Structure 1
Amino acid sequence: MASLNDRLRSIVQGTRPSAVPVVSPDAAIGHHAAFSHQPSAFSPFGPDRILAAAETLGGTVIERPNGVVIIVDREYRADDVHGRQRIGDLIETIRDGQDAMQTMARAWPSAKGMGGVGTGGSKDPPLLFLDLETTGLFGGAGTQAFVVGCAAIDGESIRVRQFLLPGFEHERAVLAEVAAWAGAHGALVTYNGRTFDVPLIETRYLFHRVPCPLDGVPHLDLLHAARRLWRGRPTAAGPDPDESSCSLSVLEKHLAGLHRVGDVPGFEIPSRYFQFVRDGDARPLEAVLEHNRLDLISLAAVMARAITLIAEGPRVTTNPHECFGLARLYERSGAIENAEASLLRSIDLAQRIGAEPEVHADALRRLAWVRRRTGRPHEAAEAWRALAALPRCPAGFRRDAMEALAIFHEHRSRDLGTARSLVLDVLKDGPLGRRRDAAEHRLRRLERKIAVREQGGLVAALDASLEVSN
């Protein structure tokens, strides 16, 4: 009996399919062809049930000497929409994003060599978007990927190919098909792939003692860029307690306006596959494959938004949090001028809104650091002063600003009295541990310097009076 989620999904999808089914040209076995696979202890159902599963999922069956693979192909055409994003617009943005990809490659060395590769041009292999559905949620040697979801730009559409494991004994065949398909593509794009997807699939190739096709391939994990750009944004209204997180399902709401209806929860996905292995009924996997396809298209949408921000700069956003995140990304990639421009834009937006003291303070503090590291202490001091005077400034940030200003006045402007007053203000805030020891040490040093200066002034005055008397 179909669950409520499955019935809701069938109603929604019945009005407008999310993608166009595509028959794979290299799928040599049709739904009614015979093949030599025999049931095993791991997969008790035979070829008829595998063919029926492929037909249920709108896929095809490929038999190889080492097993059987169910392949499901879908095509997202240029005029299709993903939330409020048109697929054709995503494709155009990614194709024109070579410079932005180079910026991300400088920020994350694992993506080195990515800029100019895989943007869908005639000379370069297309990017490979990868997402796995696995038998466990935490990885480990016993966890297998039963769906390897891949997507790539193909002309004016995004082609999604999903490799489904019909039984545990067919894993070697699935890995061989994935290797063949990945070999025709370029750089890899994932979401949390460096931590989960890629190590897991590398482990499976290692288990079967076959080379992994992803070794040495430039790899951009968009989770890191997403955390730079969108972590800490204001929480959206709604009951979801994780609405301010950087999970892909949350970002697709904010960036693409996609609200999934009847989506299968992630924790439920492994149990659906285990049930399929036991009874051969593939209907519960329809929702799993749709979940995987949406993840892949959302991955492209997140990448397109990141490319737009990096390429166009802070002028394309009116969100101080997003602008601040863009500055952090620029700073990590070494684009200091762009980082400073983004910080100034974030400060300006926060001042206009008037309700973002945290991001305002963060931007001022990072602006001061950037200016100090680039050898502009007087400009850095301006940012520290603005931070110290900021209403509702967090106490820790104000203490950092006063300490930095005390150092500036002691060593740069030589205004020892102002430096001493700032140190006393720091001590009034009650710092603990090393910070208090450092402040007290600085205060003693300043008092010695002030005493020496005053003593020098007295000596000079005495000499002047003696000269007058003579």
Structure 2
Amino acid sequence: MTFGEGIGGAAGAAAADAGAAIGSIGDAVSGESGPAAQAEEELHPAWSGMGVRLVSSTEGEFLVRETRYPLSHRHGAHRLDEWHGVQEAMSAFGAGDDSGYRNALFLDLETTGLGVGAGNVPFMVGLAYVQDDRFVVEQMLIRHPAEERAMIGYLSAMLPTFTHLVTYNGRTFDWPVLHNRFILHGHRAFKWEPVHIDLLHPSRSVWRNTLASCKLSRVEEDRLGISREDDVPGSLAPAIYFQYLADGDPEPLRGVFAHNETDMLSLASLAIRFGHFLAGGVGTRVAMPEEAEELLRTGLWLERMGKAELAEPLYARFAEHPRPSYRSLCLLAERDKKCGNWSRAVLLWQKAVRTSGDAVLPDYEAHIELAMYYEHKTKELERALQLAEQAFELAAGRRAGLRARGKRPGELDLIRKRIDRLRLKRSKG
């Protein structure tokens, strides 16, 4: 069973209608010849050597560049054939079973702007999928806006042959932009409802507090071992395309092709990484997180994905970590409180109380939680009162330090009422 096995029918036919594959980068297969080579002769000489071919239909023309990688190709920390072992686990994203993940399409656009309105044109559409024993990266380029209609027509026939869509920020950008283009070009009846996996969201869930940002370029460098050399930043792609429209020189677009191709490979590598997470591969197939925050966030994400049994070892490792943050201690303690795991929740709150004084503006959430626990669970009123009084002092100092930007004005009153109640209970024995 291969990653993408089974797409060779309709999807393969759509690709075959566009012509034979050419082009080679890195480990990609090279040296193919045939109809594509003849089509290339019809192009302007400036396109020579870019590995593009001309696709013609009744709706017009556009360019396609196709690169094929063997599944043994390694992109950063992962080989493409690692998908074999994680397909079943990926059903946690909502597919119901693993069969569709053999028919997954990766998508990434290069556009003329940042919005999703009608003025933002996807001048390059990057797709990737597996056909037979090759990972195929197919990149469509329009040489001017009039060619978009032909490209959209090609996509309207190709996309429905896939059952799963993998993107990075595709829910709010790539897919809405592309869907709007279908409507704009008269494909109002076009309907495609794949299982959409937007990898931005799990990336934020796991790494939002441990990486400088969750941009794909940062995630791939810091977590996937991918280093881009001489890369054209995606932010420059629109300017390069507009320059091409102005002077007709396609040479700078070579860098945009390379950037988009790397994005497609990185999407596959990142999907494999999350597949390993869901398949129980943390600590075996992928390294165990070293930072306390990442341990916790990985566990919380796995639990939300229905993999609580995989999350628990990460929680246990987090609880023993020598350098957890105050916020993360309270976060796991709150989770344990809801689950009834009071023993670990108390240990975490106690650890948070001990570390609260290290902050410039100490927090007191753990003090209040412990005070409630001792008051209502173990009836240790003296310990509860001591913690409440400490919380009041911290809240007063925090409010003074933050001035009007601190906690709600009534927060001190609530703590004072707790203290008064505890003193009354104590006086009654």
The two structures have a TM-score, normalised by structure 2, of 0.83
Contact 2:106 2:167 in 1 (8 A): yes
User: Hey, what does 1:30 align to over in structure 2?
Assistant: 39
**Which of 448, 456, 459 is equivalent to 2:424?**
448
User: Hey, what does 2:387 align to over in structure 1?
Assistant: 422
User: Hey, what does 1:401 align to over in structure 2?
Assistant: 366
| Alpha-carbon distance between aligned partners in 2 of 1:214 and 1:344, rounded to the nearest angstrom | 46
Residues 274-327 of structure 1 deviation map (CA, whole Å, 9 limit, x = unaligned): 222233322111110110000110111111112222322543414234322211
Q: Superposed, which structure 2 residues align to 1:41-52 within 5 Å? A: 48-49=43-44, 52=45
| Alpha-carbon distance between aligned partners in 1 of 2:95 and 2:35, rounded to the nearest angstrom | 30
User: Hey, what does 1:6 align to over in structure 2?
Assistant: none
Q: Is 2:411 the partner of 1:435?
A: yes
> Cα–Cα, structure 1 residues 427 and 143, in superposed 2: closer, same or farther, change >3 Å?
same
**Which of 341, 350, 367 is equivalent to 2:313?**
341
Residues 42-65 of structure 1 deviation map (CA, whole Å, 9 limit, x = unaligned): xxxxxx53xx46544212111111
User: Hey, what does 2:135 align to over in structure 1?
Assistant: 158
Q: Is 2:205 the partner of 1:225?
A: no
User: Hey, what does 2:81 align to over in structure 1?
Assistant: 91
**Which of 279, 289, 301 is equivalent to 2:269?**
301
Say what the alpha-carbon RMSD is for the aligned residues: 2.8
Q: Is 2:58 the partner of 1:113?
A: no
Contact 2:206 2:298 in 1 (8 A): yes
Question: Cα distance, 1:198 vs. partner?
Answer: 0.9
| Alpha-carbon distance between aligned partners in 2 of 1:449 and 1:175, rounded to the nearest angstrom | 73
Q: Is 2:251 the partner of 1:286?
A: no
Contact 1:364 1:383 in 2 (8 A): yes
User: Hey, what does 1:465 align to over in structure 2?
Assistant: none
Matched to 1:233, the amino acid is: T
Q: Is 2:100 the partner of 1:100?
A: no
- For residue 119 of structure 2, give the secondary structure of its aligned residue in structure 1: coil
Question: Cα distance, 1:171 vs. partner?
Answer: 1.0
Count of residues in correspondence between the two structures? 391
Matched to 2:87, the amino acid is: Q
Question: Cα distance, 1:252 vs. partner?
Answer: 1.6
| Alpha-carbon distance between aligned partners in 2 of 1:212 and 1:302, rounded to the nearest angstrom | 33
Question: Cα distance, 1:20 vs. partner?
Answer: 3.3
User: Hey, what does 1:252 align to over in structure 2?
Assistant: 220
User: Hey, what does 1:319 align to over in structure 2?
Assistant: 290
> Cα–Cα, structure 1 residues 392 and 161, in superposed 2: closer, same or farther, change >3 Å?
farther
| Alpha-carbon distance between aligned partners in 2 of 1:99 and 1:370, rounded to the nearest angstrom | 28
Question: Cα distance, 1:368 vs. partner?
Answer: 1.3
Contact 2:74 2:80 in 1 (8 A): no
The percentage of counterpart residues that share the same residue type is 31
Matched to 2:290, the amino acid is: N
Q: Is 2:167 the partner of 1:190?
A: yes
User: Hey, what does 1:76 align to over in structure 2?
Assistant: 69
| Alpha-carbon distance between aligned partners in 2 of 1:16 and 1:139, rounded to the nearest angstrom | 32
| Alpha-carbon distance between aligned partners in 2 of 1:167 and 1:96, rounded to the nearest angstrom | 43
Question: Cα distance, 1:144 vs. partner?
Answer: 0.4
Question: Cα distance, 1:396 vs. partner?
Answer: 7.0
Residues 324-375 of structure 1 deviation map (CA, whole Å, 9 limit, x = unaligned): 2211212322433433321222333x32xxxx442xx344323211221112
The two structures have a TM-score, normalised by structure 1, of 0.76
- For residue 118 of structure 2, give the secondary structure of its aligned residue in structure 1: coil
Contact 2:27 2:70 in 1 (8 A): no
| Alpha-carbon distance between aligned partners in 1 of 2:249 and 2:273, rounded to the nearest angstrom | 39
Contact 1:314 1:345 in 2 (8 A): no
**Which of 257, 261, 264 is equivalent to 2:232?**
264
| Alpha-carbon distance between aligned partners in 2 of 1:315 and 1:261, rounded to the nearest angstrom | 30
Question: Cα distance, 1:229 vs. partner?
Answer: 1.8
Question: Cα distance, 1:420 vs. partner?
Answer: 1.2
| Alpha-carbon distance between aligned partners in 1 of 2:187 and 2:30, rounded to the nearest angstrom | 31
Contact 1:346 1:363 in 2 (8 A): no
User: Hey, what does 2:303 align to over in structure 1?
Assistant: 331
Question: Cα distance, 1:412 vs. partner?
Answer: 1.1
Whose Rg is larger?
A: 1
Question: Cα distance, 1:78 vs. partner?
Answer: 3.1
Question: Cα distance, 1:212 vs. partner?
Answer: 7.5
Question: Cα distance, 1:102 vs. partner?
Answer: 2.6
User: Hey, what does 1:9 align to over in structure 2?
Assistant: none
| Alpha-carbon distance between aligned partners in 2 of 1:25 and 1:446, rounded to the nearest angstrom | 86
| Alpha-carbon distance between aligned partners in 2 of 1:445 and 1:24, rounded to the nearest angstrom | 85
> Cα–Cα, structure 1 residues 379 and 232, in superposed 2: closer, same or farther, change >3 Å?
closer
Matched to 1:345, the amino acid is: R
| Alpha-carbon distance between aligned partners in 2 of 1:392 and 1:344, rounded to the nearest angstrom | 24
| Alpha-carbon distance between aligned partners in 1 of 2:190 and 2:265, rounded to the nearest angstrom | 22
